[in-house]
Structure formats: C-alpha cells, structure tokens
Structure 1
Amino acid sequence: MTRKLFYEDPYLTEFTATVTGHGTEPNDTPYVVLSETAFYPTGGGQPCDLGTLNGVQVVDVEEVDGEIRHRLDAPLLDVLSIEGRIDWTRRFDHMQQHTGQHILSAAFEQLFDGETVGFHLGREVVTVDITLPDLTQEIAEGVERLANSIVLADREILCRFVDKEELARMPLRKPPSVTENIRIVTVDGFDYSPCGGTHPARTGEIGMIKILGWEKYKGNVRVEFVCGWRTWQAMTDKQIVLRQLSRHLTAGEAELPDGVARLLKERKELEKALAEANAKLLEAEADTLYAAARDQNGVLLVAKAFEGRSMQELQRLGQRIASLDPQAVALLVTGGEKTQLVFARGGEVMVPMNELLKETLLLIDGKGGGNPSLAQGGGSAGKSAPDVLAHAERLLAARL
C-alpha cells in the first residue's frame, strides 16, 4: 500500500517516490500509483491536493480499491522515479478550513447542543449543517466568539491513530465512520473528533473564523463560514463594497442601511408615479385610436399593428377601447421576437374574441386563450404584424 506521507507530516510539500502502478481511467485520464505520497486524496469532505509529479500537473487524487490514484493531465511514460510537489497554498487553505470546521462544530454543540450532520469544503466558502431549528444573530455571534477564543489560545492539535481501548476513553463529539485505522484529531481540551483530513499543529494557524450567513435546510440550519486567509479575502471584498457604497451615497458605513432604505422607498414611490403616468398615457393613446375607429358592418373597428409593444400594454389598450363603446372591437398586434395579439370587444358585439383569436393563431402556429370579451396569445414571428392583422380583419368581417 502507498505510504501516506500527508499523515506523517502535513507540512511536507516535496517528496520522492517510485511508480508502483499506472493506468488510464474510462475517460482516458492517465494515472499513476506511487510507493509513497504527500498528495491527500479526496475524502471526508476535504478536496484532494493538487500539484505536480515530475513537472506534470496532478488534476485529481482519489483512493480507489485501496490504491491512491494520481490523475494527470498528461501521461508519465517509462518513468520509475518520481519527484512530487504539492500546491502548498491549496493544502494550507484546506487545513485551515477543515480544522476551523471542527472547532465551529464543537462550539455549536457545546453552547446549543447543535450537532453537525453535514460538511462541505467548497472553493470559496465552507458549509456545515447544524441540527438547530433556526439561527439568530445572537447565537451566531456566541458560537463565533467561543470558536475564535480557541483559535487565539493557540492550542495544540494532535492527530493520531488510536486503538479501541484508548478510543473508548475519549469524549468523542461524534462516532467514527470506520472500525479500523481510526484516526482522532484532538484540539487540546476542547474537541475530540475522528477524522482523516489534514490539520495544522496549533489552532493559531487556523486564523479568524467568520460566519457569513445561514439558511434553513432540510429541517436543520446550513451555516456558511470561512477561516484564515479566506476570512481576510472575504472581509477585504466586503470593505471594498462598503467604501464604494459610501461614496455613491455620500454616507458613512454606519449610515448605509438607512441610506439604502431611503433609496428603496424613493424608488417605490417613483415606480408608482411612473405606473400611474403610463396608465394615463395608455388611456390617452386608446382614446386617440378609438377616435379614428372605422365602421365595419355595424361595429367600430380599431385595428392597429405595433412593433415591440408588451402584452400588458396591448391588454390595457384593448380593454380601454372596449370600454369606450359597446359596439367597439379592438384588434391589436405587435411584432418583435414573437408576434403577440390582443382582441377585445364591447358589450353589444356578438363575435367571440377567443374564437377569433384561435382562428388567427393558426396563421402563426401560436397559442393563447381568453374569453368572448377579451383574448390574447402569441406565436412565431414568421409573419409580419401587419399581415397577421389583415388576416384577423378578414376573419372578423366574415363573422359580422
């Protein structure tokens, strides 16, 4: 079996080994198996290490049927000796995030009896699923405070394999998922957890732990957080945003919530005023169209082709025209990415608009619906709006 150097020294970044096996995955990705490796394979919620073997990029590392496969972006042919180098920035980030998760999870359990039932170490954030019905800012801050006090105390972190007798004496936060080769990660005087990941020697290396947010998830609470350098990056990004907002609103950071609330209120008022103005403009447009209506077999017909009008605008125009005269009929069509139609009638017109629409839509392979008084629909833009309108007028004339 491959000697797992990442357990012996998680700070090891370079090593030499011999190739003990090689092959190609079903997707044609080449891989090698080594006599020993510092590359941590994906497992236990922690992503694998990346780096190089003899200068060739390692794109994935996974333990398959007891062997650690180092998947490569190019084959290593006729090579026996290997010089490996891991991406230390990635490794140390994973060490910070994974150990920070141990401490945060222990804090949730010790303070609020919230057990961790899910863990995911992502590229930008880490999430844990906690068995709490909900979370408040007060709870989050209390957990953060305890977790960061453990970080700042710079406690020792010990990772080692234990036998069953020693395991039975340990106050484990959760039971191990395996029955052999059980490895326990101990944060001195605070947490004992079975884990196969990589971890630093002391809690001070984790850096600050910061909860970014949370949401309800499958009866629990999913908590999103970052540690160490990720915390620094997250706080830097947020500070840049705050400075930009402060400049735009000419307000201090503490005044930003009130400033944004004021802007939202003003926007809502402006949108209401604009909607009222648009409604009046549509009424005036409908009145103008009605004034130019022509008599066709006893009805006052308003037939108009537009370009780029919305369905909502057509509906309002049609409803307004129909309300102005019980003998009015409005046939409105608009072109654009697709052809849309609205047909409306006054109360004394006997032609059902939904039936007229259904017949017209056959021309453009369209769909629609409505009732005898008002119908709307749309279809392909293969026919121009004026052509569709002319077709609808002919159908109406045949029914009158």
Structure 2
Amino acid sequence: MKASLHVCDTIASKGVKHMKDLLYYQDAMIKQFSADVVKTGADEQGAYVVLSNTAFYPTGGGQPHDTGWINNVEVLNVEKVDEEIRHYIQEEATLSGRVEGKLNWVRRFDHMQQHTGQHILTAAFVELFDYQTVSFHLGTDLVTIDLNTVAVTAEELAAAEKRANDIILENRPIETTWVTKEELVQYNLRKDVSVDEDIRLVIIPDYDYNGCGGTHPTSTGQVQMVKIMEIEKMKANIRVHFVCGNRVYEQLAMRKTVLTDVARQLSVPEKEAGAALTKLMKAAKQTEKALAETRDALLAFEAKEFVHTGESIIAKTFENRSIQELQKLARYVTTEKPDVIALLVANNEDKLQFVAARGANIDVSMKSISTAALPSINGKGGGNDALVQGGGEKLITPEQLLEAMKSAL
C-alpha cells in the first residue's frame, strides 16, 4: 500500500455528484448528519444501506473504515463497492426514508490522529534524510511505515521524531484542496500522484504537500504527539513502529504498569529495574548452566552404575525422561563401555519414547531396532547406525516396547 499515494479515484456515493461533495471531505470533523436512504441490499459481506450522502469514511488509502450508527442501527463496516458507499448493518435491521447518522467519534478521531501523524513523520524522514516511505499500515495498536533504507540509526530516529513533534507543537493548519493534473506543478509534492482526475491534496503549509484521500483534523496540534516505539528490518527496508495522540498515552500507561510490576518484583526503584533485571538474567543463566552441568554429572554417574553390572545389553525403562536425557545417557553408557548396547525407554505423559545406541566395538546397526520398535507404537523416529531415537502412542507397555527392541537384536 503506497503511503503517499492515497489519492481518491472515483465518485463513491449515489446522490453525490462529485467526491468533494461527500460529507467526510466537506468537513472531516462532522460527527452527526442527516441523509436519505437511496438503496438497501445484501452481498457476501452482509446487509447494507447506501445513503444520499455520508460522513462515514469507507476503507481506503491506508485508513480503516468508520463505524457508528444510522438511527439506532449499528454500522459494522463501510466499504466502497461498485461506485457506491455501502454501510453494512445488522441483517435484521430495516432503514428507509430520512435517517440520522452518528459516527463512532473515538474511532474516527484516532484514525485521523494516526494518519496525520504518519504524514508528519514521513515528511520528517524525507526532509532530514531523504528516506521515502514505501508502505503504510494503520493497525489497531501500532502504526507502521516502511522506509526505503537498509539501516536507521538511533540518532536519526530521534531527530525525525523531534522534527515531527515540533511540527505538531507549532499547531500548523492542515488544508485540503482539489486540483487538476495541470495544477500539480504549483505544489512541491512529496511524491507524484498516480491519477489524472479527482486529485485531492492534503497540505501542511511550508512542510508537506501530499496526494491523499483520507480524513485529517484541521491542525497538526490535534495529533498531540508522535512516539516511535521500535524498528525492525524488512528485507531491503526498515519498518518503523509508532503511535500518535491518545495511543501514546495508552502505550505509556501499559508500559508504566509493566515497569511498576517488574520493579516491585525486583524490589528496586523503577529507574533501576533495567539494571536489576540484567543482573537477574545473568545470574539465572549461570544457575541454569550449573544445573545443566549437575544433571550431566548425574547422568554420567547413572551410566557408570549401569555398565558395572557386566551386561552386554543395558535395557532400562524410565518415568518421565526427555528424549534428550535418554540420548545423553545412552552416549555416556556406550562411551563408558564400548562393547555394550544401550536400549532405553521412557514412559512420558502422552507417549512412549526410546533410544538405542551401540558402543564403538559393536557392529550391529541400531536402525534395525528402530524398524522393529516403531510399528508397535505407531511412531516416528530417526538416527543412524550408531544411535536411533523415536516415539509414538502408548499402544503397549514400556516393558513390551523394550522386549520388541531386544528381539530385534
């Protein structure tokens, strides 16, 4: 979706002679309106109503659709289909004659804040670093733009964010105008438009001139703030995640709640939570490493106990042993005594698992054991001549599985 090519293309509502006559273009701040029902129907998306005019914005140009109510009937979706704006409503509802439309203003204003913030932030990246926005997505939590660069520094992000917030703080007017293709030369457009008629420009004077069919507030101050949250590498681009307006407060509240909880659990002031968490993670990794070394030592000791019996085949069953533990134990056994075979079966919660391994002085392929054992448990496995492993359903007892493996020898 091209972020800077949100240009309207055709007439979109029955009864409206020109796109510029649509209520959401006449005044994006309209919250309620009156109109006539000119058509009702249903399609694969559900029942819909077409009005003589509308302030409900349909999905398009990177901006999600409005919701709200027509009379007291909830508007669930708004889409432009076959040159008309369809307001999708509950199937059982019936509407006719003169009706009253009311927007879900919290949703609309949020979309206007995010969309306008995108214009401002995109223009900042172009102005400061000539990084063009190649795509734009307005999500339910975060907004993203993809910049046509393979890397962005923390300093560049901070500079672009500051420039965007300076423009917001200046409370510059946001103007819209409809122009012909010939008139475009009068404007310093951030990016070329892709249509030849019904061209609508959204202008922040002396800063950003952009072809766009979305809705925007009347001044930059209404965006309140832009905050970049994170970035990620996307093939040859950098994706910037950010929020504007009320979403900044929502993100701040969420992060404050999380930080307070982390600081409380670490018993440190919030500003020291990061350092304390780093220290805790380092200690946890050291403990995990020591625990793994202890487990390995116990497995090695267990293996010595097995081979001291003098048996040429070490056949054992266990309760709740992971396949990784069985593999390590089998290797310890066959390393300790190269002329033995280890056959190990674990009875785990929902399946039987096994490992078969041979010492260096044994010539028998362990694949024959796997071939014999797997059908009896409807299982799957893998490995090589020296060691195989597998697992399957509990169709037989662990002891029966072990006998099937021994029989293969």
Shorter-chain-normalised TM-score: which range?
over 0.9
Equivalent residue letter for 1:207: Q
Q: Distance in 1 between matches of 2:180 and 2:328?
A: 78
- The match for 1:394 is 407
- The match for 2:19 is none
Q: Deviations over 1:8-33 (max 9, x none)?
A: 11111111111111211125x10111
Q: Distance in 2 between matches of 1:318 and 1:136?
A: 50
Does residue 265 in structure 1 map to residue 282 in structure 2? yes
Does residue 305 in structure 1 map to residue 317 in structure 2? yes
Please list, as runs of the form range in 1=range in 2, the aligned pairs for 1:103-142 lying within 5 A after superposition.
Answer: 103-142=120-159
Does residue 206 in structure 1 map to residue 220 in structure 2? no
Please list, as runs of the form range in 1=range in 2, the aligned pairs for 1:1-400 lying within 5 A after superposition.
Answer: 1-3=14-16, 4-27=22-45, 29-77=46-94, 79-292=96-309, 294=311, 300-336=312-348, 337-396=350-409
DSSP 3-state at the match of 1:37:
coil
Equivalent residue letter for 1:373: A
Equivalent residue letter for 1:359: A
DSSP 3-state at the match of 2:230:
strand
- 1:331 CA drift (Å): 1.1
The answer to whether the 8 A contact 1:31-1:75 is kept is no
- 1:91 CA drift (Å): 0.6
Q: Distance in 1 between matches of 2:42 and 2:217?
A: 34
DSSP 3-state at the match of 1:36:
coil
- 1:288 CA drift (Å): 2.5
Question: Which range moved further: 201-210 or 248-257?
Answer: 248-257
Q: Distance in 2 between matches of 1:252 and 1:186?
A: 46
Equivalent residue letter for 1:33: V
Equivalent residue letter for 1:361: L
**TM-score, with length taken from structure 2:** 0.91
More relative contact order, 1 or 2 (CA 8 Å, 6+ apart): 2
The answer to whether the 8 A contact 1:283-1:317 is kept is yes
**TM-score, with length taken from structure 1:** 0.93
- 1:346 CA drift (Å): 2.6
Equivalent residue letter for 1:173: R
Residue segments in structure 2 that go unaligned for 5+ positions in a row: 1-13, 17-21
| % identical aligned pairs | 45
The answer to whether the 8 A contact 1:57-1:74 is kept is no
The answer to whether the 8 A contact 2:303-2:336 is kept is no
- 1:301 CA drift (Å): 2.2
Question: Which range moved further: 235-244 or 252-261?
Answer: 252-261
- The match for 1:297 is none
Q: Deviations over 1:266-312 (max 9, x none)?
A: 11111110011001111122222333464xxxxx2221112221111
Q: Deviations over 1:19-52 (max 9, x none)?
A: 111211125x101110011100111000010001
Q: 1:176 to 1:347 in 2, by over 3 A?
A: closer
Q: Distance in 1 between matches of 2:163 and 2:325?
A: 58
- 1:187 CA drift (Å): 0.8
The answer to whether the 8 A contact 2:33-2:55 is kept is yes
- 1:263 CA drift (Å): 1.6
DSSP 3-state at the match of 1:117:
strand
Q: Distance in 1 between matches of 2:338 and 2:250?
A: 67
Residue segments in structure 1 that go unaligned for 5+ positions in a row: 295-299
Q: 1:317 to 1:276 in 2, by over 3 A?
A: same
Q: Distance in 2 between matches of 1:90 and 1:286?
A: 65
Q: 1:184 to 1:372 in 2, by over 3 A?
A: closer
Question: Which range moved further: 9-18 or 226-235?
Answer: 9-18
The answer to whether the 8 A contact 2:299-2:328 is kept is yes
Equivalent residue letter for 1:281: L
Q: Distance in 1 between matches of 2:94 and 2:310?
A: 84
- Report how many residues are paired: 390
- The match for 2:8 is none
